[in-house]
Structure 1
């Protein structure tokens, strides 16, 4: 695994690289306590057997710097600008972009903003596909209180609460909830300002009446092949919304049976197999068209 820091207008962005080859796949993680190595640690070595893989610690996560005053209407625009600066400094001309949850919304936004750079797009259990959340007004109230900080402090002291949080929304297979993962998340919950990045994301993503961004009307503008990957038991992103999104842009869709919101973490072998088979089929179709 190779690591490096890229300087952007939002500070230093940390990234991890593995593998070689003509195909590059960039992976974006989700919000909360997430980071490149938390969501993609199991995926990277498997995918690196086939291609060049880059996993990014988004600003405010992992080993990347935290920008000041990050929440607000410019939240997604600032993220996309930082990602574009990373791409430019890495001299990436074309690559596959995959993103999980918040990272999925960023991936869609990036593909819309810079379509010539993206050869294929893979939103995974992606945010950005609904107009509002269930119990939307409650969640809007909740994220604008101090209760999130309190809940993180509680989880930092309780194995039970961490396990409950994982099994209720992230992993469908309870056997995948290892003691190592529980202790890792407990430690992250106890870190100073642990809730800050999640608060920035949620406060920037929920108005009183709607979810932000809402890409549903723009998905038909995507110019590249798209594969949606979805845990079919995901309680945070409705599978029905993902099916509608896939149909609206003639995208491929793979449902990971029994998985919840952290589908690549839950079954990395299946995720990599499906992803690489799909990427390979695109390359084969392109070669056939040229011939």
Structure 2
């Protein structure tokens, strides 16, 4: 997906944001949407949103970023506060692009980053769309099998095609047969980039303090966050528990929740047509030019 002939008219470049180089791809014009991918091994913005960019770009200026630690962006993430580090970096990206405020769409780790952006700088996030976001009640109860598989990818015997195939086909989506070998191969190649191996982005928190900081249910700012939020969750999500959806709805004042049956952790890919329709209409009604 890194070659832009796949999506006509899309442009890609690297932007300096603080001390980092952030790789972005853009399509469409109008009010900006920043799209943030998940944290699985080998993830990148374009592979995460391959089924959504063109549809959303009919209404918006779509900016798809590789978050720090992933894709073609600078590697390494601050382990004592990963969500905060990513959020500051993505706010820095908006600065570099001279974007005052944007809608922010985030899947999994990207959802946690998006939510943290809204807590840190609510004036800059006009609306949130979160798909199975990370960090909701994570310190209450044991991690899910999918999250364990994600965090253990670089541990033990180290990365392998088998480990990644299992993670994607068994834990990431409801129907693993839909995922092509080519897609797995591309993610595997990204996951063994020497720079990634030197500083794997998601390895689990390095302290209890870090773990508590990565749980939004313990953040008092949530209750006063007025940013309109749409939460989308697959009921068969094996990475982040779907119960996180109703938790967020209780804690966030302006939160709508949509649960997709027979869908895993990758709503935007598994249910792309409905995702594109729902997100377009939600964000269009919340865009004030």
User: Which of the pair is proportionally richer in helix?
Assistant: 1
Alpha-carbon distance between aligned partners in 2 of 1:208 and 1:94, rounded to the nearest angstrom: 31
RMSD: 3.0
Which of residues 262, 265, 284 is equivalent to 1:280? 284
Q: Normalized against structure 1, the TM-score is what?
A: 0.83
- Return the index of the structure with the highest Cα Rg: 1
Alpha-carbon distance between aligned partners in 2 of 1:27 and 1:240, rounded to the nearest angstrom: 23
Alpha-carbon distance between aligned partners in 2 of 1:10 and 1:148, rounded to the nearest angstrom: 28
Alpha-carbon distance between aligned partners in 1 of 2:90 and 2:151, rounded to the nearest angstrom: 27
- Secondary structure of 1:218's aligned partner: helix
Q: Normalized against structure 2, the TM-score is what?
A: 0.84
* 2:262 is the alignment partner of 1:258: yes
- The answer for the alignment partner of 2:50 in structure 1 is 41
Alpha-carbon distance between aligned partners in 2 of 1:89 and 1:73, rounded to the nearest angstrom: 25
Q: Per-residue deviation at 1:185?
A: 2.9
- The answer for the alignment partner of 1:236 in structure 2 is 239
Q: Per-residue deviation at 1:137?
A: 12
Give the direction of change, closer, same or farther, for the CA distance of 1:209–1:8 in structure 2 (3 Å limit): closer
- The answer for the alignment partner of 2:34 in structure 1 is 26
Give the direction of change, closer, same or farther, for the CA distance of 1:163–1:203 in structure 2 (3 Å limit): closer
Q: Deviations over 1:33-67 (max 9, x none)?
A: 21111201221111111211001111121111224
- Structure 1 segment 151-170 matched on structure 2, within 5 A: 151-153=158-160, 155=161, 158=162, 161-170=163-172
Which of residues 70, 74, 77 is equivalent to 1:61? 70
Alpha-carbon distance between aligned partners in 2 of 1:239 and 1:225, rounded to the nearest angstrom: 20
Give the direction of change, closer, same or farther, for the CA distance of 1:208–1:147 in structure 2 (3 Å limit): farther
- Secondary structure of 1:166's aligned partner: helix
- The answer for the alignment partner of 1:177 in structure 2 is 179
Alpha-carbon distance between aligned partners in 2 of 1:181 and 1:139, rounded to the nearest angstrom: 19
Verify the 8 A CA contact 1:231 1:259 in the aligned structure 2: yes
- The answer for the alignment partner of 1:102 in structure 2 is 109
Verify the 8 A CA contact 1:148 1:195 in the aligned structure 2: no
Which consecutive residues of structure 1, in runs of 5 or more, have no partner in the other structure?
none
Alpha-carbon distance between aligned partners in 1 of 2:140 and 2:274, rounded to the nearest angstrom: 29
> Which moved further from structure 2: 52-61 or 79-88?
79-88
Give the direction of change, closer, same or farther, for the CA distance of 1:196–1:236 in structure 2 (3 Å limit): farther
* 2:89 is the alignment partner of 1:87: no
- Secondary structure of 1:282's aligned partner: coil
* 2:202 is the alignment partner of 1:201: yes
Q: Deviations over 1:123-152 (max 9, x none)?
A: 111012114264359999999989626241
Verify the 8 A CA contact 2:84 2:113 in the aligned structure 1: no
Alpha-carbon distance between aligned partners in 1 of 2:222 and 2:206, rounded to the nearest angstrom: 18
> Which moved further from structure 2: 257-266 or 211-220?
211-220
Q: Per-residue deviation at 1:3?
A: 1.2
Give the direction of change, closer, same or farther, for the CA distance of 1:83–1:64 in structure 2 (3 Å limit): same
Give the direction of change, closer, same or farther, for the CA distance of 1:146–1:71 in structure 2 (3 Å limit): farther
